[in-house]
Amino acid sequence: MAKFTTGDETDQALCAALKHEFLRCRGAFDSFAASAEQMILQGENRDIAVRTYNAYAWFLHLLYEFLLAAVQRERNDTKPLDHELADQYIHSIAQRVLIKRREAILNGTAPAWENHICAFPERVPSEFASEFRKTRNTISGHVKHQRHSLSLTTFYHRYHKYLYMMYFDSLGHWGYMTDEFPDLGEITAFSVTITEQSPGN
């Protein structure tokens, strides 16, 4: 855990980890979207509810971790943030993305499919970041008895728009894929194939 400079070895390694985390986040979101569509089209039952819940929980977990790592890169420091500072950064990211979305609508540069300005309040709710952290910790980060009574449905309806805006804002850069899958070091070097060079041989 140390400070680093943009472009150095630590920064390059962090960028590879950020790319990997966002690709995982994108996969989790795609799984959630597919499961949610199935729930809407085919009706609800406990099985589809759990599969949709799990996909959304994984999306929240990965998005949260991605955002914290992005903050580390912004600060050029791998030191973990305490939860008060993490909440401040997450809230500021959400507010920045919300302002950007509103300005695009107001100045006419938003895409044709964008929602009306009335769908976007001027301010992110003050409790958003702490609720994001607490919900993520309860439904995915840790096994807690509170999971049984925490309503992810309520959280989704109150805060999903802010999560999706942060996700979508990062999609263009971190989710971008060229024709060739990026080299992510030992992440993309992983193999279950036994070779002469495999450890333990």
pLDDT band for position 2 (cuts 50, 70, 90) = confident
Lowest mean pLDDT among 114-118, 119-123, 186-190: 114-118
Residue-range domain boundaries for the chain: 9-174
State the pLDDT at residue 45: 94
Mean pLDDT to the nearest integer, 140-162: 95
The candidate with the shortest Cα–Cα distance to 17, out of 82, 58, 65, is: 65
- Higher-confidence position of 136 and 113: 136
pLDDT band for position 171 (cuts 50, 70, 90) = confident
Q: Is the pLDDT of residue 164 over 70?
A: yes
- Higher-confidence position of 111 and 63: 63
Tell me the average pLDDT of the chain. Answer: 91
d(CA 88, CA 145): 27
pLDDT band for position 93 (cuts 50, 70, 90) = very high
Question: At residue 160, what is the residue type?
Answer: H
pLDDT band for position 113 (cuts 50, 70, 90) = confident
CB atoms within 10 A of CB 118: 7
